[in-house]
């Protein structure tokens, strides 16, 4: 704390002395504003960097998709594509699968 000094000298002797507390150089809010302003300067650089990363990941994804599409097209044209699931037929070609289904059903019945 310090005593207020006047630029103009007073001739009044009865003037009371005032003591004031010095304020900090920067308040907390001013510190926050300064920090946010510095962050604001970096935003365009970060956005550009993020856009480049997104573009690179999309390009990699498109290359992967194109490769898989080319493989699928090659297999389709060569006739080497297997069916997605075995065809269920009545001639008994899938007996092993039927036996597995019976075992699973038995286990489910025993547990319940």
pLDDT for 11-24, tens place per residue? 666 666 666 666 66
Residues 6+ apart with CB under 8 A from 81: 72, 75
Question: Is the pLDDT confidence value at 2 over 70?
Answer: no
Q: What is the 3-state secondary structure (H, E, C) of the chain?
A: CEECCCCCCCCCCCCCCCEECCCCCCCHHHHHHHHHHHHHHHHHHHHHHHHHHHHHHHHHHHHHHHHHHHHHHHHHHHCCCCCCCCCCCCCCCCHHHHHHHHHHHHHHHHHC
pLDDT, one tens digit per residue, over 40-77 is 999 999 999 999 999 999 999 999 999 999 988 888 88
pLDDT, one tens digit per residue, over 84-111 is 666 555 555 555 555 556 555 555 555 5
User: Is this prediction's pTM over 0.85?
Assistant: no
Percent of the chain with pLDDT over 70: 50
């Amino acid at each position: 704390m310090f005593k207020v000094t006047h630029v103009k000298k007073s001739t009044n002797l009865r003037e009371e002395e005032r003591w004031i507390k010095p304020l900090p150089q920067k308040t907390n809010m001013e510190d926050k504003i300064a920090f946010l302003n510095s962050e604001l300067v970096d935003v365009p650089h970060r956005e550009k960097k993020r856009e480049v990363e997104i573009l690179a990941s999309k390009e990699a994804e498109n290359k992967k998709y194109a490769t898989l599409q080319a493989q699928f097209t090659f297999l389709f044209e060569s006739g080497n594509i297997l069916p997605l699931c075995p065809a269920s037929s009545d001639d008994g070609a899938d007996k092993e699968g039927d036996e597995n289904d019976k075992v699973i059903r038995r286990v489910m019945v025993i547990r319940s």
